[in-house]
């Protein structure tokens, strides 16, 4: 263990962690109107971004943008105060958001919407800042143009590779899947470069996220009747559930059989895997959205489990747990804001929240 490399990042994470909104406060926002939510958020870290929006412009879209902007800024701070392999891992994870911007640019170009309209979908993070995205969108008339504009970044090369392999791109799904796969592969590689407890924690926390995504993809594809061959193309790099396990899961005739097959492997993992898949097996007859909700909680549960298992400081567990908690807070706030705007019943909003424990 090398506490030195945590010297700067840990206090920063601890400060940011204290800024997180308490779950009780978050729940108390359910059912309130947008103005009340805006007032409540004014006293939170989102306050400085919210004050920049005029009262007439307050709606779910502007508030959502504020939340994402805050997440990007917080992430930037953590990257700034990190060093070595932790910094590499954080930068690799940040690429998930960069890829999200690349996808937004591809979609906007395909739909031929105006640059200003397209820019609303961009969250400036990493190497793809606002100016660069605007320049790419302004210059690009087709998907090929976007790919060429990104040729100096790894994303451009990944997409060119897809174009070379396939004669015709029917839809953007192939490009999007290739980008997602590349990013997750890089995240796994970065986690692999860590040492000791950090490596174990990062592999478990980021691994369960990948496993959850793959299981979600299989469940969804099977519900839609997608062929086994096609499902394989959509799967992300694997973690605890290897390719063979996932292939076996795709062959399962029912959700119960599939989860049962995954549970056998999950039992070889840690307690979180076992708990999640046991719960899924119990609720296998529930709607798919319920199973997805259980899987959505997996990274957060794993992060919190790692915090209990290992010391709170001087390992990457606290950083990853904070990032997951922050992301969940943003997701929950987004859910509450949209629910408020759409006047959804509080019970429906509450059902869709991802809370750390049984709340």
Tokens found for residue 5: 């490399």
Determine if 108 is a binding residue for another protein (CB under 8 A). yes
Residue 337 CA, chain-centre distance (Å), reads: 19
Query: CB 68 → another protein: shortest distance, Å?
Result: 8
* Residue 87 in tokens: 């910094």
Q: How far is the CB of 21 from another protein (least distance, A)?
A: 17
Comparison of 52 and 230: residue with beta carbon closer to another protein: 230
Residue closer to another protein by CB (options 107, 193) is 107
Cβ of 325: how many Cβ atoms within 10 Å?
Answer: 17
Binding-site string for another protein from residue 156 to residue 175, where x marks contact by CB under 8 A and - marks none: ---------------xxx--
Listed ranges 190-198, 227-235, 257-265, 317-325: which one lies at the site for another protein (CB under 8 A): 227-235
Phi, psi dihedrals of residue 23, rounded to the nearest 5°:
-60, -40
Neighbours of 345 (CB within 10 A): 11
Per CB under 8 A, 348 contacts another protein: yes
Q: Is 286 in the site for another protein (CB under 8 A)?
A: no
Q: Does 310 bind another protein (CB under 8 A)?
A: no
Half-sphere exposure of 127 (CA within 13 A, CB side): 12
Which own/partner pairs from 262-268 qualify as long-range (CB within 8 Å, at least 24 positions apart)? Answer: 262/215, 265/240, 265/241, 266/240, 266/241, 268/240
Q: What's the longest Cα–Cα distance across the chain?
A: 55
292 forms part of the interface with another protein (CB under 8 A): yes
Q: How far is the CB of 336 from another protein (least distance, A)?
A: 8
Per DSSP, what are the bridge partners of residue 128? 125
Report the residue number, 274 or 356, with the smaller CB distance to another protein.
356
Out of 23, 65, 197, 281, point to the residue binding another protein (CB under 8 A): 65
In the complex, the smallest distance separating the C-beta of residue 333 from another protein, rounded to whole angstroms, is 10
Q: Is 225 in the site for another protein (CB under 8 A)?
A: yes
For residue 178, state whether it binds another protein (rule: CB under 8 A): no
* Sequence-distant (≥ 6) Cβ neighbours of residue 227 within 8 angstroms: none
Interface with another protein, residue 228, by CB under 8 A:
no
Our separate counts of H helices and E strands in the chain read 19, 0
Q: Phi and psi at residue 356, in whole multiples of 5°?
A: -55, -50
Among 87, 107, 203, 274, binds another protein (CB under 8 A): 107
Nearer to another protein, 106 or 240 (CB): 106
Burial 146-178 (b: 16+ CB within 10 A, else e): bbbbbeebbbbebbeebbeeeeebeebebbbbb
Give the nearer residue to another protein in terms of CB position, either 183 or 265. 183
Compute CA 215 distance to the chain's CA centroid, rounded to the nearest angstrom: 15
| Chain positions contacting another protein, by CB under 8 A | 60-61, 64-65, 103-104, 106-108, 110-111, 113, 120-121, 171-173, 176-177, 180, 213, 216-217, 219-221, 223-227, 230, 234, 236, 288-289, 292, 331, 334-335, 338-339, 342, 344, 348-349, 352
């Amino acid at each position: 263990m090398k506490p030195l490399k945590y010297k700067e990042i840990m206090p920063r994470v601890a400060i940011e962690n204290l800024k997180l909104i308490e779950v009780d406060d978050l729940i108390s926002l359910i059912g309130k109107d947008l103005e009340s939510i805006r007032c409540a958020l004014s006293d939170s870290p989102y306050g400085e971004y919210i004050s920049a929006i005029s009262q007439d412009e307050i709606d779910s879209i502007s508030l959502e943008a504020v939340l994402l902007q805050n997440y990007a800024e917080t992430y930037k701070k953590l990257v700034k105060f990190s060093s070595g392999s932790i910094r590499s891992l954080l930068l690799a994870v940040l690429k998930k958001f960069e890829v999200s911007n690349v996808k937004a640019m591809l979609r906007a170009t395909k739909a031929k919407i105006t640059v200003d309209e397209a820019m609303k979908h961009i969250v400036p993070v990493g190497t793809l800042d606002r100016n660069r995205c605007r320049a790419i969108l302004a210059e690009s008339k087709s998907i090929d143009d976007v790919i060429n504009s990104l040729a100096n970044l790894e994303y451009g090369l990944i997409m060119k590779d897809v174009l070379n392999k396939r004669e015709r791109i029917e839809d953007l799904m192939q490009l999007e899947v290739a980008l997602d796969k590349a990013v997750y592969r890089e995240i796994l590689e970065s986690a692999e470069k860590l040492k000791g407890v950090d490596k174990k924690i990062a592999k478990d926390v980021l691994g369960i996220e990948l496993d959850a995504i793959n299981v979600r993809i299989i469940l969804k594809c099977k519900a839609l009747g997608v062929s086994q061959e096609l499902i394989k193309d959509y799967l992300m790099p694997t973690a605890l559930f290897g390719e063979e396990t996932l292939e076996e899961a795709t062959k399962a005739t029912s959700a119960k059989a599939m989860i049962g097959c995954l549970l056998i492997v999950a039992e070889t993992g840690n307690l979180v895997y076992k708990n999640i898949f046991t719960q899924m097996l119990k609720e296998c007859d529930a709607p798919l959205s319920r199973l997805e909700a259980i899987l959505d909680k997996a990274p957060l549960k794993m992060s919190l489990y790692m915090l209990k298992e290992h010391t709170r400081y001087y390992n990457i567990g606290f950083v990853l747990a904070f990032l997951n908690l922050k992301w969940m807070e943003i997701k929950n706030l987004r859910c509450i804001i949209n629910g408020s705007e759409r006047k959804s019943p509080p019970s429906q909003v509450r059902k869709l929240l991802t809370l750390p424990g049984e709340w």
